[in-house]
Amino acid sequence: MEIELLDFTELSTDGSKFEQLIRELLLKAGLRPSWTGVGADSGRDLIAEEEIIGPLTRARALWLVDCKHYARSGKSVGVGDVVDIFDRCARISASGFLLVTSTQPSAELMRKLD
């Protein structure tokens, strides 16, 4: 069996194809994704709605999904690239935040997210 890895540098630099890929993966995972529209950083965010069905109740969780595509430059995603997490989540009543990157997050960003 041959394993093929994704080469994120093949995707457009504007991030639109990366966001479309993430949207498709969210759909495949059983979530209901949609775009928030263009935000202050001139990029779009995704919203993913998750329905949680238990034996006694049903619940809904809303996730703000922030996609950062820096594969061509190879730069880490830094603290300055991910701003106003709480405010952005509050604006759409999101219960959680998901950061998806095509490169690695910086150590400083990891500390912030923790």
Whole-Å CA distances, 73 to 2, 14, 69: 28, 12, 9
With contact defined as beta carbons under 8 Å apart, do 36 and 45 qualify?
Answer: yes
Give every residue of the chain whose pLDDT is below 50, as ranges.
Answer: 41-42
Predicted structure pTM score: 0.84
Indicate the domain borders of the chain. Answer: 9-113
pLDDT at 2: 74
* Pairing, β 32-38 against β 58-68: unpaired
Strands (E), 1-114: 32-38, 44-53, 58-68, 96-101
pLDDT at 38: 55
Interval 96-113: pLDDT, tens: 999 999 999 999 999 999
Query: Is CATH 3.40.1350.10 the classification given to domain 9-113?
Result: yes
